[in-house]
Structure 1
């Protein structure tokens, strides 16, 4: 059986091909009675519009690009789930671009700054330079940032300074004064991830408010992995005067800290309290106390904001700051 075409739908509905096209493109100029007649013909004939023809008729690619670093990390996966929920219910497909080097980041920024490639960009955790933003704007590419900022672009961020403060304040409220912070690299960080700095500043702010001197020996930095965190935690826990509590920059690193404590025969939380950050799914099963950031919601809000800006290119940039929440489970307790 030959495939049904737009001309077959027009003939069935008793209208012109242009009218069917306007109905498919949701043109408000079509009268309701005509629109219903065309939709009935589409359903009866089981007509499926050609995506290529639709793109040509709209002058759009119907595709958005999502650029993110290290996208296999649990926090990014959760953000992807949020944006996928929104885009799956829209007419847009998305293409994921994984960035693991600054060279690849710069190449994607350069190649995707063309409106014949994509209709919009959603960039995670990678703050573009002023020159790059000029390129996006001059090309007419709507761009939204998630977990990164620029004053000329809409962006959605987590209040990580508040989150770092909450984590440390929770430990202080439990009577701890020897509090370590185990983080991702702060200065050897080619992507200049802002959350690394903000959570550290929140940690330092809570210590200062409680008149607890900062101990450089209690701050350890390393690769964001369970294995690296385990070794850093072993170094901390075998100090002559070890910390009684450890705040880990991420849940992934907190899992490494838990493993180190187990291998050393150190009881959690009796001997050392541990708090993570993110509240990824597995933390509930490991009973990890953590700081919940709205990962799913940030991806969801980012996708919605991008679709709004595609539909209204003149929209003014928006700044959305999502709060954090302390999730207390079984890995923190009062100091003994």
Structure 2
């Protein structure tokens, strides 16, 4: 059997080929009933648009580039789920570019790399304020920041100061010494993130207001082995009972594992507060700050899609607030 064509869809829906094309491109100038009729014809015929033809016809790639630190952590998997669900619904493909080393970072600052041949650009987590101000970052196409914020660009981000403050206010009420583990995420000083800096600022601010201090602070890079090593170092030096704010659930999970391997009882000998509320957190009884990661990604994608549809207004910021989920570890 031959593959159905756009002409077949138009004939079955009783509309012109141009109307079908506008529906495929998610154009606003199509009435709801007409759009539904066309979509039904597409489904009935099992029609698949030819992406090459779309590119030639519209001068667009129908691709979005997503630049992010890594793709192997739960947070970024969830963030990509939110981004992709919105982009795929609008019939855009997603190209993922993990920023892993200095040479790759420097290459992405140029304007001729594959990442910049997309119709739009999403940059996750990194603080790009200086790069935008110095015009080192090429933003000819619409750009949105997610899990980060800066002036002059659309962004969807978490209020990490508030999250740190909520953790600090709660930890300050618990007995025993207070400890904290932070994530180091700078890549050769070229890109930096304010996420954990802001969580720390909010946490220490809340402790100071309650007349409490942190006995010791530890740092770990964002991987499982480094998290476990930080947990070992902290528990070797800690006096129990105590409370630990682990600024990401990845760190909190490693701390839980190490504590239980030593026969310590989380929630009694050691109280642990995480940040993220990853899917496994409830099953492990982890007290943590919940953040709607998928929703944040979906909202960032929506901001970019409106730019691609012609929105020319001033930059917009969408701020999300975390909330404390109290479970058995604290």
- TM-score normalised to structure 2 length: 0.85
2:320 aligned partner? 322
Structure 1 CA distance for aligned equivalents of residues 266 and 173 of structure 2:
17
2:293 aligned partner? 295
Q: Do residues 268 (structure 1) and 270 (structure 2) align?
A: no
Determine which of 220, 223, 227 is the counterpart of 2:221.
223
1:316 Cα deviation (Å)? 1.8
Provide, for residues 88-127 of structure 1, a one-character-per-residue CA deviation record: whole Å limited to 9, x for no partner. Answer: 2112111111111233123234246789821100111123
Task: Give the secondary structure class of the aligned counterpart of 2:96.
Answer: strand
1:154 aligned partner? 154
**Cα 1:22/1:291, change in 2 over 3 Å:** same
Contact 2:65–2:116, Cα closer than 8 Å, also in 1: no
Structure 1 CA distance for aligned equivalents of residues 255 and 80 of structure 2:
27
1:307 aligned partner? 305
RMSD, aligned CA: 3.3
2:18 aligned partner? 21
**Residue pairs, 1:53-68, within 5 angstroms:** 53-68=53-68
1:226 Cα deviation (Å)? 3.3
Structure 2 CA distance for aligned equivalents of residues 207 and 122 of structure 1:
35
1:182 aligned partner? 181
**Cα 1:315/1:56, change in 2 over 3 Å:** farther
Task: Give the secondary structure class of the aligned counterpart of 1:245.
Answer: strand
Contact 1:142–1:313, Cα closer than 8 Å, also in 2: no
1:196 Cα deviation (Å)? 1.4
Task: Give the secondary structure class of the aligned counterpart of 2:150.
Answer: coil
Where does structure 1 lack aligned partners over 5 or more consecutive residues? Answer: none
Contact 2:64–2:119, Cα closer than 8 Å, also in 1: yes
1:142 aligned partner? 142
Structure 2 CA distance for aligned equivalents of residues 329 and 100 of structure 1:
35
Structure 2 CA distance for aligned equivalents of residues 255 and 14 of structure 1:
57
1:224 Cα deviation (Å)? 2.3
1:331 aligned partner? 329
Structure 2 CA distance for aligned equivalents of residues 272 and 89 of structure 1:
45
1:295 Cα deviation (Å)? 0.8
Aligned residues: 324
2:123 aligned partner? 123
Structure 1 CA distance for aligned equivalents of residues 91 and 284 of structure 2:
39
1:227 Cα deviation (Å)? 3.0
1:92 aligned partner? 92
Structure 2 CA distance for aligned equivalents of residues 307 and 97 of structure 1:
19
Provide, for residues 175-213 of structure 1, a one-character-per-residue CA deviation record: whole Å limited to 9, x for no partner. Answer: 44x210111127787331111101111121011101123
Contact 1:113–1:136, Cα closer than 8 Å, also in 2: no
1:297 Cα deviation (Å)? 0.8
Structure 2 CA distance for aligned equivalents of residues 45 and 240 of structure 1:
66
1:44 Cα deviation (Å)? 8.1
**Cα 1:39/1:143, change in 2 over 3 Å:** closer
Task: Give the secondary structure class of the aligned counterpart of 2:121.
Answer: strand
1:235 Cα deviation (Å)? 2.6
**Cα 1:327/1:43, change in 2 over 3 Å:** closer
Where does structure 2 lack aligned partners over 5 or more consecutive residues? Answer: none
Structure 1 CA distance for aligned equivalents of residues 228 and 154 of structure 2:
37
1:52 aligned partner? 52
Task: Give the secondary structure class of the aligned counterpart of 2:313.
Answer: coil
**Cα 1:264/1:314, change in 2 over 3 Å:** same
Structure 2 CA distance for aligned equivalents of residues 184 and 37 of structure 1:
51
- TM-score normalised to structure 1 length: 0.83
Shifted more, 182-191 versus 246-255: the winner is 182-191
1:244 aligned partner? 242
